[in-house]
Structure 1
Amino acid sequence: MTDITLNLFMLQLVTGVALGAVYALLAIGLSLIFGMLTVVNFAHGAFFMMGAFLGVYFLSLTGSFVLGLMIAPLVVGAIGLLAERFLVRPLYGRGIDYPLLLTFGLSYVLIDVARVLFGIEGLPSSTPAALRGAVNLGFGHFPLYRLFLIGATAVVSVGLWLFLEKTRYGLIIRAGSRDSEIVRVLGVDIAKVWFLVFGLGTAIAGLSGVLAAPTRAVNPEMGIPVLAESFVVTVVGGMGSLPGAVVAGLLVGVVFSLTSLFAPEFAELSIFVLMALVLLIRPQGFFGKAGALG
């Protein structure tokens, strides 16, 4: 404890923000699907894992990280579209537990598919050559790629906010999340809206997997712990709240990182303690609405 300097503390703080950026992206996709469809997507971690695998695969195939960053989320989003159309859609209106159980089973199917396609050991991943090295932040050198993670999350978050708040389609999505019957009466095919939202949410999960791949081991089980962490972020921020997902994601990342510095044996536990404290004070989360699951 006495060896911890201000510079080390600041570096660990920025590390937490970078980690929280991945959590925020994951929670954005999860919150988008829940906020619109009221579907608790237990396959979200598996879509994250598929994004990581596809990102590494396309990088090895094309030699371009940018192409992998563009193509992998589209492929994951396409898988999400198929899942919504043929698996999730028939369960709408049957209660929240039906799609929950279905997506829970789907996650294990996707894990086994990854094992068959890429092997149980997974694929080696590395930081793209253009993003290697470190940047001097004044209090120490910080990996360039982790700064890129923070910037990418900011771009996606702002872009999604502009889409939802400033476009006609965003207006339809927001209206449908509040009262789908009214939107249907106005002549909008709400099923198509749900279809596209589920695809967008899973594509964002795939994007977070591509971005996270250079910072962690890429293997079929990598989405399992991430799923638990993304649900912690979603609950802390408020189920269905996109601003809550961003704020809570960054907070959870910082809490985990600083706990790793001061008491590493409690790092995993710290985020669940944070969730418990938030729920005791504000059961609906920071930006959530009471009775969202009702």
Structure 2
Amino acid sequence: MTFFGISTQALLGQLLLGLVNGSFYAMLSLGLAVIFGLLGIVNFAHGALYMIGAFVAFVSLESFGLSYWLALALAPLLVGALGIVVERLLLKHLYKIDPMYGLLLTFGLALIAEGLFRERFGVSGQQYPVPELLQGATDLGFMMLPNYRAWVVIASLGVCLGTWFLIERTRLGAYLRAATENPALVQAFGINVPVMVMLTYGAGCALAALAGVLAAPVIQITPLMGSNLIIVVFAVVVIGGMGSILGSIVTGIGLGLIEGLTKVFYPQASSVVVFLIMAIVLMVKPAGLFGKEAR
């Protein structure tokens, strides 16, 4: 069967690729949305944290023989701890001033991280093997579904929905949201707001590292892998609505699928379709699809 001269297998293959890319967009934009929505920091170092997470997986395998499954736990912990150190030493001084200072600081940190990793690993890509348990593919009848790509989609959706539930439907999430609106009042109820803020930033950084580990077997690991992706992820966050958790998830997956379809029907536009959609959305709804208009 064909659609507009495109075979069904080719179309479904591109949709699968778009779904995988959309899963990464959703996870990365989720971390950005958590940090901006709860702390008001535009974290431009998010792409670098994604890259560091992938390199933690690579180094843990090459130097210490640790498995992919251990790396899934180790990388978020290490990068989350790094985020906590950055928040305590640098970012905590910027919360009450113009957000542009936070953006410039995190942008500088991203450049430093990329420079250090380029010095250590060079610019050539590093390969990370697909874990043995997820190798091969499943025959769906109409196409072969690579097991690892299916795992990426399932894991990403699970993490995204779990994070949304934690922030929007639990008491802890209510405390976090209240602390962003009125920290003095929340502090008066005996809740340590600075520690909560610190842990929130660390959790957002950990999400970026987790996405990096998931991406490691799919793409080449390079010091520039984060900077190549972060602009698209920022566009996803803007389209979904700055700080909107649900908006980041839905928009990330949706734009990944649209990008995949564009590669089938008009490949020349696949690299700009996300930004074209962003321009249209901003003209129609400046706060984003799921964002709230400023009063």
Q: What is the TM-score with the length of structure 1 in the denominator?
A: 0.94
Aligned to 2:124: 121
3-state secondary structure, aligned to 2:41: coil
Query: 1:2: how far off?
Result: 4.9
Tell me if structure 1 keeps the 8 A contact 2:38–2:177: yes
> What RMSD over aligned residues (CA atoms) do the two structures have, in Å?
1.7
Of 164-173 and 237-246, deviating more is 164-173
Q: Which residues of structure 1 form unaligned runs of 5+? A: none
After the TM superposition, list the runs of 4 or more consecutive aligned residues in structure 1 that deviate by more than 6 angstroms.
none
Q: In structure 2, what is the equivalent of residue 40 of structure 1?
A: 42
CA distance in 1, matches of 2:259, 2:114: 26
Higher mean Cα deviation, 132-141 or 79-88?
Answer: 132-141
- Residue 264 of structure 2 corresponds to residue 269 of structure 1: no
- 8 Å CA contact retained: 1:11, 1:139: no
SS of corresponding position for 1:285: coil
Residue 185 of structure 2 aligns with an amino acid whose one-letter code is I
Change (3 A) 1:219 1:258: same
State whether structure 2 residue 32 is matched by structure 1 residue 8: no
Q: Kindly provide the CA deviation profile for residues 79-138 of structure 1, in whole angstroms up to 9, marking residues without a partner as x.
A: 111111101111121111111110010001111221233333242223222212112233
Q: Is the 8 A contact 1:17 1:254 kept in 2?
A: yes
Q: Is the 8 A contact 1:136 1:142 kept in 2?
A: yes
**Correspondence 1:30-109 to 2 at 5 A:** 30-60=32-62, 61-109=64-112
1:178 aligns with 2:176: no
Equivalent in the alignment of 1:215: 218
1:268 partner SS: coil
In the alignment, which residue of structure 2 is the partner of 1:20? Answer: 22
**2:191 corresponding residue in structure 1:** 188
- Residue 166 of structure 1 deviates from its aligned partner by 4.4
Alpha-carbon distance in structure 1 between the residues aligned to 2:253 and 2:161? 15
Rounded Cα–Cα distance in structure 1 between residues aligned with 2:136 and 2:285: 42
Alignment of 1:249-268 (within 5 A): 249-268=252-271
Are the structure 2 counterparts of residues 187 and 8 from structure 1 closer, same or farther at C-alpha, using a change threshold of 3 Å?
A: same
CA contact (8 A) 1:165 1:171 kept: yes
TM-aligned CA deviation for residue 6 of structure 1: 2.9
- Partners of 2:102 and 2:13 lie apart in 1 by 41
Residue range with higher mean Cα deviation, 32-41 or 4-13 = 4-13
Equivalence for 1:197: 200
Residue 115 of structure 1 contacts residue 220 of structure 1 at CA under 8 Å; is this kept in 2? yes
Report the 3-state secondary structure (helix = DSSP H, G, I; strand = E; otherwise coil) of the residue aligned with 1:142. strand
Return the letter of the residue paired with 1:228: I
Alignment of 1:222-233 (within 5 A): 222-233=225-236
* Counterpart Cα distance in 2 of 1:288 and 1:176: 19
Cα deviation for residue 289 of structure 1 reads 1.1
SS at match of 2:217: helix
Identity of aligned residues (%): 40
Q: Deviations over 1:141-180 (max 9, x none)?
A: 1211111011001211222133224443222112223333
How much has 1:185 moved relative to structure 2?
3.2
Contact 2:40–2:95, Cα closer than 8 Å, also in 1: no
Residue type at the aligned position of 1:283 = P
Q: Does 1:159 align with 2:137?
A: no
Conserved 8 A contact 1:59-1:67? no
Q: What is the rounded CA distance, in whole Å, between the counterparts of 2:178 and 2:142 in structure 1?
A: 46
Q: Distance in 1 between matches of 2:235 and 2:142?
A: 31
Residues 29 and 236 of structure 2 are in contact (CA less than 8 Å); yes or no, is this contact kept in structure 1?
yes
Moved more, 111-120 or 79-88: 111-120
CA distance in 1, matches of 2:141, 2:290: 34
Q: Aligned equivalents of 1:130 and 1:264: distance in 2? A: 34
Q: After superposing the two structures, state which structure 1 stretch, 209-218 or 184-193, moved more.
A: 184-193
Cα deviation, residue 255, structure 1: 1.4
